């Protein structure tokens, strides 16, 4: 049996399948209780508090990124809105397990509906709910084997932080999940652990437990009971690939020495070490909203300044591009309340929302100015017009910020990049949203994901347009969307005129190696060839003809 999903953490992992099934029963609809409402509420609250405590304790034990994720999950378990909802439902006569079940449905819908990073946290919420209900029923939560004879391929519908926090590379050969996307928890944890992972793999939980499985975290192929010779061949090729990639070191440049600084995308202080370890030359996108996702109050100026200062300190002499809050749509922030909008991605998000909350803006820009570093660059998300770019630049300059830019992630901004460039010092293209808006295809909706393919020639045209405008204006044009993490596309983006590439730290070595294997002229030919085609698949194939070094690197 062969299955196909989306590879989100590269490498070959093989071993016996451990299929994780969650079997916490759904509390019957309309289930009531016999005692006092206050006692029932007490029971529910005690279960929520205990689950929060357990998650926090696991976080302390796990440390690192898992600690932050688990602590955020612990906060979710005690979210005031959720607690009120549970109490209200119990007052209406529902038994504690059913009240918890229904309250979580509401919370989950809000989260799932918001898409993006937060939407993918919906699985975390299911996990908390299951834990609370299991506790109320007195049943055990399904767990993972503490010790196994050999590393296993962990197969699940989706994985929650509590499932994976205490796992190590020695236990898990690969992750395969039916749900999830490139920014789901499974993907984040797998990349952080360096374990191959395939997500969005239909049929995965049908794999019989214990049979041998080989998962290819690059291609997304999952083979059930592969021949031993096939496993040996795939592992051999993977080892050679890793050695070739690791041999490229130092600053990003093409084979003929054209410099392309390779930068990291980060979402908080805990990601700085990985970026430094991967030899990032700076930060191309600091997603500041991720610093504050779980806060009910705006963060203080001091808290913010501390985080920004740490980023600058991590890259002496390197640039750090901090993006102002991108609240709304896929990144709702409690302290920038969202009105109900029929289409949040088309609503008041990013800079639009930032503008409506002058106090929050004042604090963030003051915190950035307080860092007092020439290496700190500030940019705004979701800029649609030159007027918005001008307004943002004025606000930043009035506070003494030395370098101001805007993101190009709305087609109008790419089309009129020359106008947006006038008031700012640089632009950075966010290809995730640019694809979403160019193709009218929700970036988190699986059924339209083909339209989200960053190889779509129309997207490449928009990038080319913005990059040429920047080059004419003599100003830098970076790329900070996920497209920069694809080694082949990274070469094409450089060929289109990108001056820097920013990506998750894990992608840096492969992109560095791919770039170093080709000249700028090859990158330009690859870009022209891709744009001359009509489909994403043709564009990819046409570009690769001019990028022979990728094959040699196994990329």
Residue 289 interacts with Mg ion (CB under 5 A)? no
Q: Which of 59, 2, 404 is nearest to 227 (CA)?
A: 2
Dig out the tokens for 202 from the structure. 């239909």
Give least dist CB 180 to ligand PEP, A.
16
Q: Catalytic residue among 14, 185, 518, 546, which?
A: 185
Burial class (CB in 10 A: 0-12, 13-18, 19+), 222: buried
Query: With respect to ligand PEP, which residue has the nearer C-beta, 431 or 456?
Result: 431
Q: Catalytic residue among 477, 480, 491, 523, which?
A: 480
Query: With respect to ligand PEP, which residue has the nearer C-beta, 345 or 523?
Result: 345
Residue 127 interacts with ligand PEP (CB under 6 A)? no
Give least dist CB 430 to Mg ion, A.
4
141, 130 Cβ separation under 8 angstroms: yes
90 touches, from ligand PEP, Mg ion, none (C-beta below 5 to 8 Å by class): none
Dig out the tokens for 285 from the structure. 């996108």
Residue 120 interacts with ligand PEP (CB under 6 A)? no
Residue 452 interacts with ligand PEP (CB under 6 A)? no
Residue 409 interacts with Mg ion (CB under 5 A)? yes
Which region, judged by CB under 5 A, interacts with Mg ion, from 340-348, 431-439, 444-452, 538-546? 431-439
Q: Number of residues interacting with ligand PEP: please give it, by CB under 6 A.
A: 10
Query: With respect to Mg ion, which residue has the nearer C-beta, 177 or 183?
Result: 183
Q: Number of residues interacting with Mg ion: please give it, by CB under 5 A.
A: 3
Dig out the tokens for 456 from the structure. 């779509």
> Strand order of the sheet with strand 2-4?
2-4, 221-224, 212-216, 12-20, 152-156, 172-177, 197-199, 6-9
Burial class (CB in 10 A: 0-12, 13-18, 19+), 532: exposed
Residue 405 interacts with ligand PEP (CB under 6 A)? no
Residues 271-290 that bind ligand PEP (CB under 6 A): 285, 287
Closest residue to ligand PEP: CB criterion: 430
Helices (H), 331-371: 351-356, 358-371
Query: With respect to ligand PEP, which residue has the nearer C-beta, 219 or 449?
Result: 449
Q: Is 523 a catalytic residue?
A: no
CA angle (387, 389, 392) in 5-degree steps? 110
- Binding letters toward Mg ion, positions 459-498, x by CB under 5 A: ----------------------------------------
Residue 431 interacts with ligand PEP (CB under 6 A)? yes
Residue 433 interacts with Mg ion (CB under 5 A)? yes
Cβ contacts of residue 430 below 8 Å, gap of 6+?
381, 407, 408, 409, 480, 481
Dig out the tokens for 330 from the structure. 């896929």
Which region, judged by CB under 6 A, interacts with ligand PEP, from 154-162, 308-316, 431-439, 510-518? 431-439
Q: Is 491 a catalytic residue?
A: no
Residues 458-517 that bind ligand PEP (CB under 6 A): 480-481
Give the Cβ contact number of residue 137 at 10 Å.
Answer: 14
Residues 348-407 that bind Mg ion (CB under 5 A): none
Cβ contacts of residue 78 below 8 Å, gap of 6+?
48, 49, 52
Which region, judged by CB under 6 A, interacts with ligand PEP, from 122-130, 146-154, 385-393, 429-437? 429-437
The CB-based long-range contact list for 104-109 (8 Å cut-off, 24+ gap) reads 104/128, 104/129, 107/76, 107/79, 107/81, 107/82
- Binding letters toward Mg ion, positions 256-275, x by CB under 5 A: --------------------
Give the Cβ contact number of residue 270 at 10 Å.
Answer: 16
Catalytic residue numbers? 185, 480
Residues that bind ligand PEP (CB under 6 A): 285, 287, 326, 409, 430-433, 480-481
Binding region for Mg ion (CB under 5 A): 409, 430, 433
């Amino acid at each position: 049996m062969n299955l196909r999903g989306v590879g989100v953490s590269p490498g070959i992992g093989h071993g016996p399948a451990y299929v994780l099934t969650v079997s916490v029963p759904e509390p019957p609809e309309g289930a009531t209780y016999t005692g006092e409402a206050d006692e029932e509420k007490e029971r529910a609250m005690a279960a929520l508090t205990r689950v929060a405590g357990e998650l926090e304790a696991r976080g302390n034990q796990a440390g690192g990124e898992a600690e932050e994720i688990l602590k955020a999950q612990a906060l979710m378990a005690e979210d005031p809105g959720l607690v009120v909802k549970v109490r209200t439902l119990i007052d209406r006569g529902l038994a504690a397990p059913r009240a918890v079940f229904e309250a979580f449905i509401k919370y989950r819908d809000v989260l799932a509906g918001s898409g993006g990073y937060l939407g993918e946290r919906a699985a975390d919420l299911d996990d908390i709910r299951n834990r609370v209900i299991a506790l109320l029923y007195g049943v055990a939560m399904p767990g993972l084997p503490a010790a196994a004879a050999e590393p296993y391929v962990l197969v699940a519908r989706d994985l929650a932080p509590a499932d994976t926090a205490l796992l190590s590379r020695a236990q898990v050969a690969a992750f395969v999940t039916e749900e999830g996307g490139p920014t789901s928890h499974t993907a984040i944890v797998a990349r952080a652990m360096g374990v191959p992972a395939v997500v969005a793999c239909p049929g995965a939980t049908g794999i019989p437990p214990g049979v041998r499985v080989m998962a290819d975290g690059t291609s997304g192929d999952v083979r059930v009971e592969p021949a031993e010779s096939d496993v040996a061949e795939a592992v051999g090729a993977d080892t050679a690939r890793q050695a070739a990639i690791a041999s490229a070191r130092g600053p990003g440049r093409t084979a003929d020495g054209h410099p392309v600084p390779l930068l990291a995308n980060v979402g908080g202080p805990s990601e700085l070490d990985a970026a430094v370890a991967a030899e990032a030359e700076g930060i191309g996108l600091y997603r500041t909203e991720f610093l504050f996702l779980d806060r009910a109050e705006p963060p203080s100026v001091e808290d913010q300044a501390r985080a920004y200062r740490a980023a600058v300190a991590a890259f002496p002499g390197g640039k750090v591009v901090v993006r102002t809050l991108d609240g709304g749509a896929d990144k709702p922030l409690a302290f920038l309340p969202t009105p109900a909008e029929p289409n949040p991605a088309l609503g008041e998000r990013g800079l639009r929302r930032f503008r409506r909350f002058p106090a929050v803006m004042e604090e963030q820009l003051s915190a950035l100015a307080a860092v007092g570093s020439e290496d700190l660059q500030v940019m705004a998300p979701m800029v649609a017009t030159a007027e918005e770019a001008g307004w943002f630049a004025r606000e930043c300059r009035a506070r003494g910020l030395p370098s101001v830019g805007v993101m190009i992630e709305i087609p109008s901004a790419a089309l009129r990049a020359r106008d947006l460039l006038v008031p700012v010092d640089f632009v950075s293209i966010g290809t995730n949203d640019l694809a979403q808006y160019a193709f009218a295809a929700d970036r988190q909706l699986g059924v339209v994901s083909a339209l989200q393919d960053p190889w779509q020639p129309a997207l490449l045209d928009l990038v080319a347009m913005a990059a040429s405008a920047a080059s004419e204006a003599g100003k830098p044009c970076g790329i900070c969307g996920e497209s920069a993490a694809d080694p082949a596309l990274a070469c094409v983006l450089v060929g289109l005129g990108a001056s820097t590439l920013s990506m998750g730290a894990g992608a840096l070595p492969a992109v560095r190696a791919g770039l170093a294997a080709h000249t700028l002229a090859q990158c330009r030919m690859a870009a022209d060839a891709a744009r001359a085609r009509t489909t994403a698949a043709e564009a990819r194939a046409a570009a690769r003809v001019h990028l022979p070094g990728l094959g040699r690197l196994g990329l």
